[in-house]
Structure 1
Amino acid sequence: MNRGGLQSHQTIRWAVAYGLFGAPRSGASIAFALAALSITGNPASGATALAAMTTAQLVGALPIARLGRGANSIAFFKVLLIIRTAALLACAAACGTGAPYAVFIAAAMAAGLVQGAAFGYLRDSANYLVVQSQMTRGLALGAFASDLTFLLTPILAASLGSLSASFSIAAIAILGAVPAMILPSAQNNGEPQAAKPRTKSLTPEVLLWLGCACASSAAISGIEVGAVSLAMGFNLQAGYGAIFTGTLCAASLVGSIGNGLLNRAYSKLQVAAMFLSIIIGTALILQNSFGLSILGCALVGICAPSLGIHYSLQLNRLVTPEMRAEVFSVLKISTSLGTILASATLGWTSVTLTLTASIWMLVCALGAILLKDFIVGRRLTKAPLSGGAGLATVPALAARRLSERNDH
């Protein structure tokens, strides 16, 4: 009983840490805009600092993640989080002292440089803190906490920003540092191993799930970034764009709760059905009907957490323990690329073309999954079953089929 209570307590602490980790990124859009207004007099300059932070995240995620290979995941995560917090506090100091805006941007880049790798090690730490039988529930709780953070942090940043822009940045920096304080320590379960040939982390199947994550992120970001355009397309004021993002987030919260209650992995058929739901939901948003657009946002939002958890579980299964943090860092890159693609497409074209492009990305991702399953099925069917070797292979094939059903 005590052991079970301890494991449950660790799962909750990990989930809260996972949610609060995203606080700086969630509040940065408003906090940086207020800081830019304070330093340069132009709030639009905040986008420059945010873009620099995101670019640094893309560049630094994998190299920095590799630096921690073989280290304790939780300890290395805490080191990276201290660096990020110090960089964000430097941003607050630069804003408060009226330093050149280039100094502010440099500090934001330093914060972004370690963010992707920190995410990878935070996700990898779940393997040591969350019981494997409860992993889906733990990831669902983390997704729920992350959605709440995404909803509440901008409000906090705006409220504190009315007093002081530097105070707003300092607040989200401290909030983002909480995971380092509450995440329990744990020893890596892996034992020292003899030298062995280096294994590839980015195998074709890993790349497949990373591509799926990018496509899903592009669809979700297209709705979030294009919410104002959607509202204005219905002759509504820009502020009504919150209806679309609010519906998306509320449905996502419901989806996270559902995953936590079910606590089970999804089959191939269920994954395909969720992909189709997001595709249909995105298509409904493009219809000239306010009601159908809201329904589409709900469909996308309710399936998004389930797919995100599935991607995470598949990547965790496909790579060796020492490579997991790196692959999860690349997962962060993939989702960021999806957001960048959606934002860039919206800036260059329109919300209609942006969502249409995301639909085609999802269709290609679903097609790749189905093709992969078909090829694997064909290989199992055509396996040689002649003679004694064939008889010996039958139990192995049965075991592989059983393993695949359990994994998927």
Structure 2
Amino acid sequence: MTSHDVIEPIDAGARGRRWPLLRWFASSATLSVPQAAGPVAFSLLALGLTGDPSQGAAIMVAMTLAQVLGAIPITRVGKNLPTTRFLRLLIGIRTVALVVVALLAAYGASMAWLIAFAAIAGSVNGAAFGYLRSLLNALTPISQLPRALGISATLGEVTFVLAPVLASGLGVISPVFAILVVAVLGAFPALLVPDVGASHLPDAPQASGSVLSPAIALWLACAAAGGATVAAVEIGSVALALSFGYQPALAIIFTVPLCLASVAGGVWVSFRNRSSSRRAVVIQLAVMAGGAALAACEISVTTTVAGAVLIGGVLAPLSTHYSLVLDSLAPPHHRAEVFALLRTANAVGVILAGISLTALSLTTALATVTGLMLAATLAVAVARWSGGSAKGG
């Protein structure tokens, strides 16, 4: 796809669109397998190699930082290539890099080599997500986008629930084998992603320069704040369990309710099939901030779990809204870049949460992400009440 091309919906009936759309859903769900399974798989791999599972975190940090740095440059590299072909190339690069990580580990290579190839694997994640999301516009009419995104969000949460379990089970047998399986599952989108056509728009501007506008930046900031909030609870779940006097394994009493609430939110979005109003979005952001505040207070296990449920319950509606509003704000020839930025914003949030939990106490870190969510909520509320962008405020 060149900078003059945009993807148009496939001209087919509902039955003709169904199979390509199902393939897209499967691609979307499996694209995130390496990221979902990575923390567990790499920790077990590091444990076997060095005796220190915390070294696995270094591999995940390398993957995440590489994703942030590579999202826009790599997305722009593909501007002059067919969208589906370039997406398959990106997934192929990631798969090869992960296989190399497994082989290096099997032969006892140093952690530096594993981190380097993990970074190569992670560098294409943002761009791959951007191109995959841009394909959805060709597979479903605009009126069905909320439902499709809701289904995608639900499947994504299922992936993030099941992939670590799979990695844990396989990793106990063989960490190297676990990485290989993760690589294979993460390669499925290259086989499943449907081909789409493109039309030529002679008058479209060149896809260069910054894609950020104030409205786009606002929603990316919200995505980053939300990503930090979710990550703070998930990463800090072990510390939360310990703070209440439980064994580390019982960290799932905080993460599982969050994931289940998120799945329920995705089902609700799919059933409703309608974009949230601006007022509803402000309320949803406030609910997430309230959930973060409940977790930060650490009053009791019940209130902390309630906070996790509040966070998870609005996660899918908010992520769907971000995707829809950015779809409307981004120029057609910049959509892949903007969607790559959306995934990158979430990754930045995860990094911020990780840094906060590392440098600060658990309570202070949770209070910090609560502050970020409150700031995002106020920014959207002010933009709405001041009549900001018609689409972005």
Superposition TM-score tier, normalisation by shorter sequence: over 0.9
Counterpart among 376, 384, 389 of residue 387 in structure 2: 376
Counterpart among 94, 97, 103 of residue 104 in structure 2: 94
Distance (whole Å) between structure 1 residues aligned to residue 354 and residue 87 of structure 2: 29
Structure 2, unaligned stretches of length 5 or more? 1-11
Task: Report if aligned partners of 1:7, 1:131 keep a CA contact under 8 Å in 2.
Answer: no
User: Structure 1 segments of 4 or more deviating over 6 A?
Assistant: none
Opposite residue 155 of structure 1, the aligned amino acid is V
Distance (whole Å) between structure 2 residues aligned to residue 184 and residue 261 of structure 1: 25
Deviation at 1:72, TM superposition (A): 2.6
Task: Encode CA deviations 1:274-302: one digit per residue, 9 max, x unaligned.
Answer: 11111222222224122222111111101
Task: Report if aligned partners of 1:12, 1:141 keep a CA contact under 8 Å in 2.
Answer: no
Identical positions, percent? 36
What does residue 161 of structure 1 align with?
A: 171
What does residue 329 of structure 2 align with?
A: 318
1:192 aligns with 2:201: yes
Distance (whole Å) between structure 2 residues aligned to residue 61 and residue 361 of structure 1: 23
1:246 aligns with 2:280: no
What does residue 202 of structure 1 align with?
A: 212
Secondary structure at the aligned position of 1:265 is classed as: coil
Secondary structure at the aligned position of 1:185 is classed as: coil
RMSD: 1.9
Task: Report if aligned partners of 1:14, 1:142 keep a CA contact under 8 Å in 2.
Answer: no
Q: CA distance change for structure 1 residues 191 and 289 in 2, over 3 Å: closer, same or farther? A: same
Larger radius of gyration: 1
Task: Encode CA deviations 1:338-390: one digit per residue, 9 max, x unaligned.
Answer: 1111111111112211221112111111221122223327x9xxxxxxxxxxx
Distance (whole Å) between structure 1 residues aligned to residue 361 and residue 109 of structure 2: 37
Q: CA distance change for structure 1 residues 196 and 229 in 2, over 3 Å: closer, same or farther? A: closer
Task: Report if aligned partners of 1:12, 1:138 keep a CA contact under 8 Å in 2.
Answer: no
Question: Structure 1 length normalisation: TM-score?
Answer: 0.89
Secondary structure at the aligned position of 2:79 is classed as: coil
Counterpart among 329, 344, 352 of residue 340 in structure 2: 329
Opposite residue 101 of structure 2, the aligned amino acid is C
Deviation at 1:100, TM superposition (A): 2.8
What does residue 183 of structure 1 align with?
A: 193
Task: Encode CA deviations 1:163-182: one digit per residue, 9 max, x unaligned.
Answer: 22111100000001111111
1:277 aligns with 2:287: yes
Distance (whole Å) between structure 1 residues aligned to residue 241 and residue 197 of structure 2: 50
Task: Encode CA deviations 1:53-98: one digit per residue, 9 max, x unaligned.
Answer: 1111111111001111243322211110011001001111111122
Distance (whole Å) between structure 1 residues aligned to residue 46 and residue 314 of structure 2: 36
Give the alignment of 1:220-231 within 5 angstroms: 220-231=230-241
Deviation at 1:233, TM superposition (A): 1.8
Distance (whole Å) between structure 1 residues aligned to residue 209 and residue 248 of structure 2: 50
What does residue 313 of structure 2 align with?
A: 302
Distance (whole Å) between structure 1 residues aligned to residue 203 and residue 317 of structure 2: 38
Opposite residue 382 of structure 2, the aligned amino acid is L
Counterpart among 15, 26, 41 of residue 25 in structure 2: 15
Secondary structure at the aligned position of 2:352 is classed as: helix
Q: CA distance change for structure 1 residues 289 and 353 in 2, over 3 Å: closer, same or farther? A: same
Q: CA distance change for structure 1 residues 94 and 267 in 2, over 3 Å: closer, same or farther? A: same
What does residue 130 of structure 2 align with?
A: 120
1:217 aligns with 2:227: yes
Count of residue pairs the alignment pairs up: 381
Give the alignment of 1:344-363 within 5 angstroms: 344-363=355-374
